[in-house]
Structure 1
Amino acid sequence: MSTAAPRTAGPDHLWSVDEHLDDILATVRPLDPIELNLLDAQGCVLVEDVTVPVSLPPFDNSSMDGYAVRVADVAGASEQYPAVLDVVGDVAAGQADLLHVGPGQAARIMTGAPLPPGAETVVPVEWTDGGLGEGPATGMRARSLAPEGAGGQVRVHRPAPARAHVRAEGSDVRAGDRALEAGTVLGPPQISLLAAIGRGTVRVRPRPRVVVLSTGSELVQPGEELRPGRIYDSNSFALTAAARDAGAIAYRVGAVADDAATLRDTIEDQLVRADLVVTTGGVSVGAYDVVKEALSSVGDEDEPGAGIEFRRLAMQPGKPQGFGSIGPDHTPLLALPGNPVSSYVSFELFVRPAIRTLMGLTDVHRPRTRATLTADGALTSPKGRRQFLRGRYADGAVTPVGGAGSHLVAALARANALIVVPEDTESVAPGTGVEVVLLG
């Protein structure tokens, strides 16, 4: 998988959100197509149209258990004067050798069985005596067919028009029709259709493999003892889940301590299973920001064109970001901030579109809409930064959830939207229309 080279800028350049996103999407390239078995292709994107080779259904068949008959033979049937027909045999689903239904005759037919020659319609078993040779069928007798084989008679108590309860050949799709378009994401219904028309494999772009790792010596894995000064590692779980939600095959790596050599070795070990690497933490200006230390020198003589650039973005939360490529295949790497809200917002804005670009999708962004702000007071925002606040959206209105702090995980869990405050806006009053990014 190849990528274009990302843009570079001076260390004092303040990137806008749009500049950073445009650079990512101009750099990342869709994965090369491969042929996959149907179940392995679930969640993948088709790269070519699929044409129907054979009509579906491939023959006229019954949609009911009942009797295949001629229309004229049951035209005047009623409860008082039933049509009495000779039963010539059974037609089961999958049966190849079909009997012929002549005047005054009926064939027992099962759901999905082909309509036999001579028959013009299907009478449900509930409209008959079930072939028991008695009066009008009632109760359980009306729901079951008589024993198999020719012989005996069936009484039909209602008329049936031509082709009643018959699924016509090609009524779903016809041979030569386009079943699925290139660019379709294959979910269960699409997999079902491909199997129904006889496709065992399909050509798709594979789901991207995304490796997620967090950094920080203070991180403890959930389930372990939480000692003083430590916190649980939530970012790697959140971002791995988010990558899977975006359509990727995601691998979570345990938290890496604040050691540049260890982090560099860990990332290099993961490249064999990565189409994209996402790190969280260690990208600001602190003394222990090991991601910058470990990756800022990547791409010298050994890997020309590779390298990670660390940037300042005019946004809140998520000002520090890193982006570039690493390794011999120039695997894209996005380095996100370590605060939980910052990392999640950064994922939604930058990583999710990158994943969906790798998949070959054209619509890579979360949907956006306008909503009326409902709040107890005005929202404030720093001038010159695009702010993304957590919100709860419903019925055209959005309400802020929690404060602006980038550590408020509980508020993030209650949000289903991001409220966007533009760079040139410092205050938003209740009742004002705002742009909203819809999550989920």
Structure 2
Amino acid sequence: MTPTADAEAAVNELTPLADYLGSVLRRLRALPPLDLDLTQAYGNVLAEDVVATHSFPAFDQAAVDGYAACWEDIAGGGRGGYPPAQAGSPGGRVVRLNVVGDLGAASWRPVRLAPGACFSVAAGAPLPIGADVVVPVEWTDQGMAAVEIHRTPKRGYSVRKVGEEIPAGTLLARAGTYVSPALVAVLAATGIGHVVVRPSPRVVIVATGDELVEVGRGSQPGQVVDVNSHGLTAAAAEVGALAYRVGICDDDPEGLRGLLEDQTPRADLIITTGGTGTGPGDMVRRILSRREGNRTGPVTFTEVALYPGTALGFGTVGPEEVPVVCLPGDPGAALIGFEVLARPVINLLAGAEPVFRPGVRAHLLETISSPGGLREFRPAHVAERRGGGYTVQPLRGGPLALSGLAEANGLLVLGERVTTAAAGSTVDVLLLDRRR
């Protein structure tokens, strides 16, 4: 068999990425729901539908500072024989009303509006009975005992009616909805003090390798700065996980086993980097995939049709059967592997939908080549075109370049059958600048 034929056969033996992801995600379930106080719910995903307990606004109220009045007293013939207006300046008409009281946002006693009278009101104050309009202060002379109104508003102007925005019983959010700051405000406004959510997954990140050293120094022969545990901890936090970096684990079988035993009680997911290959120093793969009797190891390592980083591991560890994702040691491949595999796993555990990043179709700005038989994820810059649609510019250095990943707002996706993508062709792009 020729070298070319050998390479083609090796590629054909790889597991398609879609098949691999499907097999992994089908093994997982969202974390059990948790009842949380509203102040702690931000960043989680709802486990149940939420319905408004109370209306919002809860009562008829003023939308601006001004004067609460009856519209007929301002625009019509008045009520109860009171004259509606007095002569104003030659160019207009002035209405005068008696100011019989002041109402603030904390006012609670019900009051009734008499004909020809009004109340001075602050924004948010309850309206007096019989009032159907609020005249902004800037439309008046701001009088205290009596006020002159220089402009006639429409009926209902600057009035917020009870339930106008959200009536009681309204479905506020469905299960699977991300709890944003705005949603927290809506829930509070409608009387919701507790919600049932999926808890944020606790994710432990471990970097493995005898060659690794802590940050704060430069790499040199035989020593490589631990990039992955820092970058992946940040990536997990960005998804909404409670991310814990436990640092560096040497290529020591007992040390790795002990670390995993220590971490499984506090983890919903463990992510390791390094050691996923088949070389003599790839301890993670050797330890976690080891057979015990007739049983395979807890973690299965698969050669996936993915570029960069074909070797990925997934399984469970410990009596609690905590999921573990094993990513390659190269920093670029580790970050791409996180996007492709670990990120969807975290979202599934959190109950978030969809589990994958949003994508768009975009016009490619330059011709690029791609390894055949592998699905490539390449850092790129995506921009919206005037008139609609998107363009995508591949960034320098290819998928393994950290500098390109740091600049990217998208990942250009080239399928297994693509060896060359021509400028002007339409390609798939995952958007990186959107959290969920």
State the TM-score, normalizing by the size of structure 1: 0.86
Identify if the C-alpha distance between structure 1 residues 118 and 221 changes in structure 2 by more than 3 Å, giving closer, same or farther.
Answer: same
CA contact (8 A) 2:67 2:135 kept: yes
Q: 2:338 aligns with which of 343, 347, 353?
A: 347
Cα separation, 2, equivalents of 1:298 and 1:221:
33
Letter in 1 for 2:59: F
- Report the 3-state secondary structure (helix = DSSP H, G, I; strand = E; otherwise coil) of the residue aligned with 2:182: helix
Q: Which residue of 2 aligns with 1:311?
A: 302
CA contact (8 A) 1:306 1:326 kept: no
Cα separation, 2, equivalents of 1:425 and 1:227:
37
Superposition pairs of residues 6-45 of structure 1, within 5 angstroms: 14-45=14-45
CA contact (8 A) 2:218 2:225 kept: no
CA contact (8 A) 1:298 1:326 kept: no
Q: Which residue of 2 aligns with 1:362?
A: 353
Q: Which residue of 2 aligns with 1:5?
A: none
Cα separation, 2, equivalents of 1:380 and 1:106:
75
Q: How much has 1:223 moved relative to structure 2?
A: 2.3
1:340-374 CA deviation, whole Å, 9 max, x = no partner?
11111111111111111111133111223333332
Identify if the C-alpha distance between structure 1 residues 211 and 155 changes in structure 2 by more than 3 Å, giving closer, same or farther.
Answer: same
Cα separation, 1, equivalents of 2:201 and 2:416:
33
Q: Which residue of 2 aligns with 1:403?
A: 397
Q: How much has 1:287 moved relative to structure 2?
A: 1.7
- Asked whether 1:392 is paired with 2:391, we answer no
Identify if the C-alpha distance between structure 1 residues 216 and 162 changes in structure 2 by more than 3 Å, giving closer, same or farther.
Answer: same
Q: 2:268 aligns with which of 270, 275, 279?
A: 275
Q: How much has 1:227 moved relative to structure 2?
A: 5.6
Q: How much has 1:14 moved relative to structure 2?
A: 3.0
- Asked whether 1:326 is paired with 2:317, we answer yes
Q: How much has 1:59 moved relative to structure 2?
A: 0.9
Q: How much has 1:54 moved relative to structure 2?
A: 1.5
1:407-435 CA deviation, whole Å, 9 max, x = no partner?
x2112212222232322333333333322
Cα separation, 2, equivalents of 1:111 and 1:366:
42
Q: How much has 1:270 moved relative to structure 2?
A: 1.3
Cα separation, 2, equivalents of 1:242 and 1:164:
49
Letter in 2 for 1:248: A
Q: Which residue of 2 aligns with 1:143?
A: none
Q: 1:156 aligns with which of 141, 149, 157?
A: 149
- Asked whether 1:103 is paired with 2:111, we answer no
Cα separation, 1, equivalents of 2:72 and 2:418:
78
Q: Which residue of 1 aligns with 2:5?
A: none
Identify if the C-alpha distance between structure 1 residues 277 and 164 changes in structure 2 by more than 3 Å, giving closer, same or farther.
Answer: same
Q: How much has 1:202 moved relative to structure 2?
A: 0.3
Cα separation, 2, equivalents of 1:404 and 1:157:
68
Q: Which residue of 2 aligns with 1:65?
A: 65
- Report the 3-state secondary structure (helix = DSSP H, G, I; strand = E; otherwise coil) of the residue aligned with 2:184: helix
Q: How much has 1:241 moved relative to structure 2?
A: 1.5
Q: What RMSD, in angstroms, separates the aligned Cα atoms of the two structures?
A: 2.3
1:282-305 CA deviation, whole Å, 9 max, x = no partner?
11122221212332238779xx99
1:136-160 CA deviation, whole Å, 9 max, x = no partner?
xxxxxxxxxx4xxxxx322222333
Q: Which residue of 2 aligns with 1:379?
A: 369
- Asked whether 1:48 is paired with 2:48, we answer yes
- Report the 3-state secondary structure (helix = DSSP H, G, I; strand = E; otherwise coil) of the residue aligned with 2:231: helix
Q: Which residue of 2 aligns with 1:141?
A: none
State the TM-score, normalizing by the size of structure 2: 0.86
1:295-344 CA deviation, whole Å, 9 max, x = no partner?
2238779xx99701112112221111111001111111010000011111
CA contact (8 A) 1:33 1:206 kept: yes
- Asked whether 1:90 is paired with 2:80, we answer no
Letter in 1 for 2:23: D
Cα separation, 2, equivalents of 1:216 and 1:357:
29
Cα separation, 2, equivalents of 1:175 and 1:321:
50
Cα separation, 1, equivalents of 2:42 and 2:234:
18
Letter in 2 for 1:281: G
- Asked whether 1:112 is paired with 2:106, we answer no
- Asked whether 1:127 is paired with 2:116, we answer no
Q: Which runs of 5+ in 1 are unaligned?
A: 1-11, 132-145, 147-151
Cα separation, 2, equivalents of 1:281 and 1:27:
23
Superposition pairs of residues 171-210 of structure 1, within 5 angstroms: 171-210=164-203
- Report the 3-state secondary structure (helix = DSSP H, G, I; strand = E; otherwise coil) of the residue aligned with 1:361: coil
- Report the 3-state secondary structure (helix = DSSP H, G, I; strand = E; otherwise coil) of the residue aligned with 2:260: helix
Q: 2:226 aligns with which of 222, 226, 233?
A: 233
Cα separation, 1, equivalents of 2:327 and 2:334:
5
Q: Which moved more, 1:71-80 or 1:318-327?
A: 71-80
Identify if the C-alpha distance between structure 1 residues 227 and 349 changes in structure 2 by more than 3 Å, giving closer, same or farther.
Answer: closer
Q: Which residue of 1 aligns with 2:4?
A: none
- Report the 3-state secondary structure (helix = DSSP H, G, I; strand = E; otherwise coil) of the residue aligned with 1:87: strand
Q: Which residue of 1 aligns with 2:329?
A: 338
- Report the 3-state secondary structure (helix = DSSP H, G, I; strand = E; otherwise coil) of the residue aligned with 2:24: helix
Identify if the C-alpha distance between structure 1 residues 417 and 99 changes in structure 2 by more than 3 Å, giving closer, same or farther.
Answer: closer
Letter in 2 for 1:121: V
Letter in 1 for 2:63: S
Q: Which moved more, 1:174-183 or 1:328-337?
A: 174-183
Letter in 2 for 1:287: P
CA contact (8 A) 1:74 1:158 kept: no
- Report the 3-state secondary structure (helix = DSSP H, G, I; strand = E; otherwise coil) of the residue aligned with 2:26: helix
Cα separation, 2, equivalents of 1:252 and 1:321:
20
Cα separation, 2, equivalents of 1:182 and 1:204:
8
Give the aligned length: 405
Q: How much has 1:207 moved relative to structure 2?
A: 1.2
Letter in 2 for 1:93: A
Cα separation, 1, equivalents of 2:364 and 2:132:
63
Q: Which residue of 2 aligns with 1:142?
A: none
Cα separation, 1, equivalents of 2:297 and 2:26:
15
